[in-house]
Structures are given as C-alpha cells and as structure tokens.
Structure 1
Amino acid sequence: MQWQLQDAKNQLSSVVKRATDEGPQIISVRGRPAAIVLSMEEYHRLTKPKTRLTDFFKNSPFRELELDLERNQDVPREVEL
C-alpha cells in the first residue's frame, strides 16, 4: 500500500501494523515514493548476509595463495598541503 506522508504521520500505528501483517508500506512525498516501512522480520531477512564471512574466505579460490603481509618499511613520501 502507498501512503501520503501526512497520512502516514497521522496513522503511524496503522502503517506499522500493516507492514507487519501485509508487507512493505510505501510512503510518498508529493506523489513520488520516498520511503518504505518494513517489518523487523522482513528487514532482517533482507539484511542478513547470504554467506558468513568465514565461509566466504574458506571457499575463496585465493585461499591457498601465500600473501606477503609484511609492512613496507620505506620512508613515507612527503605530501605538500
């Protein structure tokens, strides 16, 4: 459902309840979609990482590479500000 901003402000509890029960609620400003209200469940589903970082690195094709992680000891360049 789409709500005008003023209506959404006046009926915030209805907007939140509908987001929880029915799905995302679009809020428009001057007739153009501007924001969306999601249930926490939907928000978590959308923001949950698809792969754990540790699994990503374990499955990386570069996992067997030997990396040179030693810090370069060269003198830093002078920068003119």
Structure 2
Amino acid sequence: MQSWQMQTAKARFPELVKHAVQEGPQDITLHGRSVAVLVSRELFDRLSGNEQSLVDFMRASPLQEHDGIEFERSCSLPREITF
C-alpha cells in the first residue's frame, strides 16, 4: 500500500484517487502517523456488503412469488429479567 503525506494527498488528490482505483488502498499520513485509507468505491462496496440493495435482495428471494405465506408466532411468555 502506497503512503501519502496529508499535504501531498491534498495537492495531488486526483492522482491519489486514480491510484486507489488502479492499485488498491492508499494510506494517508499526518505527522508520520497513519490517519486514513482511501479505497475505490468498488472495494468499499465489496467490503461493506453494499453490492446489492435490499430491494434487489428481496426480489431475488425464492419466496418472492408466494403471496400466501403465513408465519407462526410463538405464544410462549417472554423470559423473566432479574436484576
């Protein structure tokens, strides 16, 4: 992972973004300490699980076509909480 000083990252931001997209995460430092990492949108979505929207996920469900599904609810009492 390439490291960029904060001042350099600010001055060369378009280049920094290009490196993140083409080469992977880019480390940003301030006073010699790592303070941030810039990643491409593609990598961020993959790591955070945002590749698919909830609507798309629900539409892909094998149960999507079934209108008459009923779910049974438990009639048991809730557990007792003691302090």
Question: What pairs up with 1:1-81 in 2 under 5 angstroms?
Answer: 1-48=2-49, 66=74
Q: C-alpha separation between the residues in 2 aligned to 1:40 and 1:14?
A: 15
TM-score of the aligned structures, taking structure 2 as reference length: 0.60
Q: CA deviation at 1:65?
A: 7.3
Deviating beyond 4 angstroms after TM superposition, the runs of 4 or more aligned structure 1 residues are: none
The Cα shift of 1:40 comes to 0.4
RMSD over equivalenced CA pairs, Å? 2.9
Residue deviations 1:25-75, cap 9 Å, x none? 0100000000011100000001106xx8x8xxxxxxxxx87266xxxxxxx
Structure 2: gaps of 5 or more residues: 59-71, 77-83
Unaligned 5+ residue runs, structure 1? 55-63, 69-81
Secondary structure of 2:19's counterpart equals helix
Report the Cα distance in structure 2 between the residues aligned to 1:20 and 1:35, rounded to whole angstroms: 16
Identity across matched positions, percent: 38
